[in-house]
Each structure stands twice: as structure tokens, then as C-alpha cells.
Amino acid sequence: MFFLGMSFSEAQDTAGRYRMVRAEALADSVISKLEMAKNPDVLKPFFPPLNLFMQTADSVKSGQNTQMLQARYQASWARLRRDFKRFRKLMQEQRLSFRSAKRDTCYLRITEPDAKPLYAYVYQEYTRKKKRFLVRFVAVRLSGYWYLFSDLQLREPD
């Protein structure tokens, strides 16, 4: 699936989290925040809330107790923060900027449509001068909304 020029955030809930109906809107919104962000907490509004994560895990019949699910949630958030720091460091080392880059393509690779929960691998390719780079992350769909979940990466396209 290819798309270009999609809209930014669609709605925010009462806790200030973004509720994206389309994964494309999530991709554009995350990139817009990454442009200016120096702190990984800027990604928190795109990360699923704990209660929704717990409800979804229960509906999947994971067999894990509440404490284990909370630990998994916290570990996922910690990994995403670590990925953000690596991402920013690479941006600085390679002197890359989204403002001066042109997005060439953006596409999704969605897991099995019947899977619960549904995951999407989001890829966005950019060109700055003659340098090409790829932004990649994993999004998850919970209760009809897309959230940033893991594996935020900056790398050269394959």
C-alpha cells in the first residue's frame, strides 16, 4: 500500500493521547514530532495506554497475570525510548533533517488481517541531497486505533 501527503493527527483522547484511525496518519504524525523532538517523551501520546494494552492482552487470552502484562508494557515503552535516543544520535551523526529531506515513498506491511492485535510495519523513505534514508517502526491497532509500538529505526534503504 502506498500513500503520500496524508493528514496529521486525527483526534486526541482526554489523556492527550493521539487516536489514529489510519496507520498512514500515525506515520505522518510521528515523523512530524521526530523533527523537533529532543526528548523521547514526545512519543508517549502515540504509545498505547496501559489500560487498553491490558484489555487487549486479556482478550487474546495470553495466560499472563496482571503484573507480567504491566512489566511487558513498561519494557516496551523503555525499548521505544532507547530506540528514540539511537534514532536521534544517528540523525545528528549523519546530519539528517526531515525539514530539508524529501519523502520519496511511504508504505505499510500489515500482518495477517485476522490477527489480534493487528500489527503494521511502517516504512518511509527520504532523500536529502544525494543521501537516502529510511525510517521504520512497528504500529499496533488496538480497539480500532493505531499506536506507535516498537522498533523505531533510522537506516539506509535496502
Does residue 84 carry a pLDDT above 90?
A: yes
Does residue 61 carry a pLDDT above 70?
A: no
Mean pLDDT score across all residues of the chain: 81
% of the chain beyond a pLDDT of 70: 85
Three-state secondary structure readout of 136-154:
EEEEEEECCEEEEEEEEEE
CA distances from 131 to 20, 24, 104 (A): 31, 24, 12
Asked if 62 contacts 69 with a C-beta cutoff of 8 angstroms, the reply is: yes
How confident is the model at residue 47, as a pLDDT?
Answer: 92
Around Cβ 37, how many Cβ atoms within 10 Å? 15
How confident is the model at residue 137, as a pLDDT?
Answer: 93
Condensed to tens digits (0 to 9), the pLDDT of residues 16-29 reads 677 788 888 888 88
pTM: 0.79
**Domains of the chain by residue range:** 23-155
